[in-house]
């Protein structure tokens, strides 16, 4: 079961206590803020590109290719980080004068993840590249880089995923998570890494007199930060100070109406107003629509949406992405229903029955592009590690896992692989999420190994799930002024969480909206007009039956804008008796 706990507070620097409203003081005292400087989000606060090892070599290789008018192929990934990285690379390289730049995003159903030998062959057939640059992938592509080298094609790797013990034999590697890296932010997303490579390339070309020789204006890379913000938020990387600068600057461009046409069109089909944009809109509205292309068809559709400067074409592509996202939601709902039916005898966690130690599921009818979302939904519901599998059609299963705090999922898979060599042909990931593949015939053995290894790792049992809050708001603070302050104070996200408060409220009434959401009217603690609240997917959690109760709620205080009118709204995250 999940329980509400309050985050511990630390002392804020005196400068912040003098200038900040009390609500923000309490919030920031519960965030990793060591100095007032960490709330400064100007571009002059960014870590310099020279600090990121490998950027100088990557810039040298790219500059050489541009001087020779070589054919450059950008190899992306099929998620939102990969799509934004790809679009950023093409826009940036073209703005600097690269004349022969194309891209290739592997179809997950045919080529799988990363630069594989098969993808190299496809690139040779379709683009005959003289140089390959990977974005948001490549650090584990030993065979793919070797295949490119055998063809005489050098490879520049830009990636942020954890590296294996042996690195690919690439011409240059830029990755903040390499062991020898001293860069001040290991949390860059793939799109952030590529941004730093472009910054290093611009400096290299400027010193070499390239822009004057080519009669080009030196490009302003800050004009591409809307792409960096989208990819960073959608990839759910921790928002340390450096990432918050990138996201804040990108959000500012979108709010000002100068973001790329594709992002503006995606916001339009999602019903979001650009001038009110916050980071969560990128994560929950734009990111899923972009990801839908990679999950169901081909991420080239998403990349094209981010590359076009034609608003009409952008709207048409965004509409197609929106349609794919609706299809993805239907598939997700079906698969979730099937999984819950399959798990019915384990008990319903909403009713307080015992949780399983972990879940490992497979179904022949499940869609391999949606199993990651399914694993995430089941992890949230059961508060335990989950791995879900779908068939790939060649006797293999593709799996996607999600974990809970305190259990490193990639390390768990590595432990299984050590105990059963060859059981998992491919796996990768990090603490909270991982992907893998195995033979369909080996699923029972993997299921057994997964459960046994979990028992060893969690010998004390599953930890209680926690909802961390920033304490209670006074009645006078439950208004529009505080909601606006909190909304403006971001960007919030992974590692720098959006403020959540708790308090006990009398429920005056509930009603179901949108089939699964619950609108809740709450009595104001000071007897003022009732408070409006919304519980997204609240029906699934049994929160449509709270009428007359007085539960303890964990909630976010937000601004609800409808037909030009703004009102405070509580967004309910958790309910306790």
The set of residues, in sequence order, having a beta carbon less than 8 Å from that of 524 and lying 6+ positions away, is: 475, 478, 530, 531
> Taking the domains of the chain in order of start, what are their residue ranges?
51-323, 345-465, 468-576
Mean pLDDT of 161-178: 94
pLDDT confidence band for 466 (50 / 70 / 90): confident
DSSP labels, 358-415: -EEEE-TT--TTTHHHHHHHHHHHH-S-EEEEEE-SSSEEEEEEE--TT--HHHHHHH
Predicted confidence (pLDDT) per residue in 244-302, tens digit: 999 999 999 999 999 899 999 999 999 999 998 999 999 999 999 999 999 999 999 99
Q: How confident is the model at residue 354 (pLDDT cuts 50, 70, 90)?
A: low
Sign of the CA dihedral running 534, 535, 538, 543: negative
Say how far apart CA 88 and CA 318 lie, in whole Å: 18
Domain 345-465 annotated CATH 3.10.310.30: yes
What pLDDT, on the 0 to 100 scale, is given for residue 516? 85
Q: Name the CATH topology of 468-576.
A: OB fold (Dihydrolipoamide Acetyltransferase, E2P) (2.40.50)
Supply the pLDDT for residue 349.
47
**Does residue 447 have a pLDDT over 90?**
yes
| Three-class secondary structure of residue 496 per DSSP | strand
> pLDDT for 364-409, tens place per residue?
999 999 999 999 999 988 889 999 999 998 899 999 999 988 889 9
The count of residues in the chain is 577
Confidence of residue 453 (pLDDT cuts 50, 70, 90): very high
CATH of region 51-323, choose from 3.90.1640.30, 3.40.50.300, 3.30.1370.60, 1.10.645.10: 3.90.1640.30
């Amino acid at each position: 079961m999940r329980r509400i706990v309050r985050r511990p507070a630390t002392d804020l620097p005196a400068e912040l206590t003098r200038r900040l409203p009390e609500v923000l003081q309490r919030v920031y005292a519960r965030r990793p803020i060591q100095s007032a400087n960490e709330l400064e989000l100007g571009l002059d606060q960014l870590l310099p590109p020279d600090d990121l090892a490998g950027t100088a070599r990557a810039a040298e290789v790219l500059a050489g290719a541009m001087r020779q008018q070589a054919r450059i192929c950008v190899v992306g990934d099929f998620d939102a980080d990969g799509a934004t990285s790809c679009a950023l690379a093409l826009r940036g390289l073209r703005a600097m004068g690269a004349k022969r730049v194309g891209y290739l995003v592997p179809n997950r159903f045919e080529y799988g993840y990363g630069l594989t030998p098969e993808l190299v062959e496809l690139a040779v057939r379709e683009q005959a590249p003289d140089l390959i640059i990977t974005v948001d992938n490549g650090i584990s592509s030993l065979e793919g880089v070797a295949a490119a080298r055998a063809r005489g094609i050098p490879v520049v790797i830009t990636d942020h995923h954890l590296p294996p013990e042996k690195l690919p034999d690439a011409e240059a590697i830029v990755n903040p998570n390499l062991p020898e890296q001293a860069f001040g932010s290991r949390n860059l997303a793939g799109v952030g890494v590529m941004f730093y490579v472009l910054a290093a390339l611009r400096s290299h070309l400027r010193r070499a007199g390239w822009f004057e020789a080519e009669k080009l204006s030196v490009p302003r890379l800050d004009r591409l930060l809307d792409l960096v913000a989208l990819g960073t938020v959608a990839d759910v990387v921790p928002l340390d100070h450096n990432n918050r600068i990138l996201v804040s600057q990108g959000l500012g461009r979108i709010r000002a109406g100068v973001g790329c046409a594709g992002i503006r069109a995606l916001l339009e089909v999602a019903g979001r107003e650009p001038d009110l944009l916050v980071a969560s809109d990128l994560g929950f509205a734009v990111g899923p629509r972009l990801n839908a292309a990679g999950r169901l068809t081909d991420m080239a559709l998403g990349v094209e949406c981010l590359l076009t400067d034609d608003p009409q074409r952008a709207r048409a592509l965004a509409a197609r992405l929106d349609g794919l996202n609706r299809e993805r939601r239907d598939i997700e709902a079906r698969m979730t229903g099937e999984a819950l039916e399959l798990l019915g005898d384990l008990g319903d966690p909403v009713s307080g029955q015992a949780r399983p130690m972990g879940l490992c599921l497979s179904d022949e009818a499940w869609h391999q592009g949606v199993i990651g979302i399914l694993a995430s939904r089941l992890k949230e519901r059961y508060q335990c590690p989950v791995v879900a599998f779908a068939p790939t059609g060649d006797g293999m299963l593709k799996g996607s896992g999600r974990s809970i705090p305190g259990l490193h999922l990639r390390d768990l898979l590595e432990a299984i692989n050590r105990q059963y060599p060859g059981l998992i042909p491919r796996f990768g990931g990090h603490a909270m999420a991982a992907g893998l593949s195995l033979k369909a015939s080996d699923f029972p053995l993997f299921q057994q190994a997964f459960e046994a290894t979990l028992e060893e790792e969690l010998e004390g049992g599953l930890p209680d799930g926690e909802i961390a809050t920033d304490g209670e708001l006074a009645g006078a603070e439950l208004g529009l002024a505080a909601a606006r302050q909190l909304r403006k104070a971001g960007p919030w996200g992974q590692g720098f969480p959006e403020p959540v408060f708790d308090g006990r409220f009398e429920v005056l009434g509930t009603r179901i909206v949108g089939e699964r959401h619950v609108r809740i009217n709450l009595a104001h603690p000071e007897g003022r007009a009732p408070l409006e609240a919304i519980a997204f997917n609240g029906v699934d959690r049994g929160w449509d039956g709270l009428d007359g109760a007085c539960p303890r709620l964990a909630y976010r205080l937000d601004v609800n804008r409808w037909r030009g009118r703004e009102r405070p709204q509580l967004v309910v995250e958790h309910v306790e008796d």
